[in-house]
Structure 1
Amino acid sequence: MIRLEGIHKIYRMGTEAVHALQDVNLHIGANEFVAIVGPSGSGKSTMMNILGCLDSPTRGEYTLAGEEVSRLGEDQLADVRNRRIGFIFQSFNLLPKLTALQNVELPMIYAGVPPATRRQRAIQALRDVGLMERANHHPNEMSGGQRQRVAIARALVNNPSILLADEPTGNLDSKTGDEIMAAFHRLHRDGKTIVLVTHEPEIAQQALRIVAFRDGRIVDDRKNGVAS
């Protein structure tokens, strides 16, 4: 599903070169559940941006679902994001003036899905995360856990190859975080490939594989052996 070969990412800050990623090699197969961990400044957020086609490597090759994406232009990357990737963010990134249903419909609007079809798929996605009764509510009328479930529904409506979750439990209490992780486990059992970035050890331990970054390099990559 994911193949990173010799990935480097260098940012220029004035005359200084910041090596955010250095010679990263990472392969993630279909239906894996991977946690990316590391201290602040370790490169894990840069790694997530490259995996999500939000940024391009300075050097190296990135292949996603058989498509070499590391050399694509902005418009092509946007198309890959819409077709292949579902994003789930710590801050939910829901539009406050739209209802839950309208927020879930957004990716399908960009994909050119006809109105009747996208309404039907959005309703099913909300039903799948147990939020159909909140379909016509706005984000400020929902709890943090409900907003994150709306974000999960939105990430799933275009049937992406991979789900990328950036600190998905970071703004939630522990009970709600457990409910969100249970949703990820269900999605994994249904065949989704999931990669999440987290600074919380107890969240990382729920993944089946843990990849640790430090100073822009992978310093550990191990199977976790927990029950899905």
Structure 2
Amino acid sequence: MNILIVHAHPEPRSLNGALKDYAVQHLRAQGHAVQVSDLYAMRWKATLDGADRLDRDPDARFDASLDSMQAYEGGTQSADIAAEQDKLRWADAVLFHFPLWWFSMPAIMKGWFERVYAYGFGYGVGEHSDQRWGDRYGEGMLAGKRAMLVVTTGGWDSHYGPRGINGPLDDLLFPIHHGMLFYPGFDVLPPFVVYRTGRMDDTRYARTTAALGERLDALWTQAPIPFRRQNAGDYLIPQLTLRPDVAPGVSGFSAHTA
């Protein structure tokens, strides 16, 4: 299988960097083809702006969606964006390795999504009518591919528990899992999370890599998070709210998993 790793940590010798290196070695040893987008090493441009469209009139008003659409359709995207899109087309699965910084991914990785998910590629795809509202949330350009987060955090697992001060980790990751991965069609696997990164010794590291190896071996057999597909009947269209008979009395993030 073809696997893309998108990695965001500025220190190659970090725990997150070591887990990325382990994943590359483990996957290749199992016969998979692996590409890595190491965003800091690449000096990835994080900001979405007019420079992403090569044929843009510099005096024209910048419109993020319109300029993105015209650049994608016209083949005038900057080369770094087009290269990452080609990697996504190539990949059967994508791993996103990053530390949890201020309750989300590092800004450089957020910028990867903003720039690579061009209009016509990551969004703005498919028919919009009274029967369906685009190819998204379970459909789209990345349907049939799998994605998994590999996240490191200094906090304890209890800090991210149901009553933890930081809030449940599943809730913190919901915008990434549901909004950035499931939206364009990925089957999203439960995340691999390493807590208390400052308390890592050789014994615990060996246990951690062994557990990660098991998750990597299960990339194509583990059940994905059962998010509800937008166009499969659970949602009213075009309101895009759950039908009254679906998960009655349930609201919030949990209502959108079956």
More strand by share: 1
Q: Relative contact order, CA 8 A, sep 6+: which one is greater?
A: 1
**Between Structure 1 and Structure 2, whose CA radius of gyration is higher?**
2
What TM-score, normalized to structure 2? Answer: 0.26
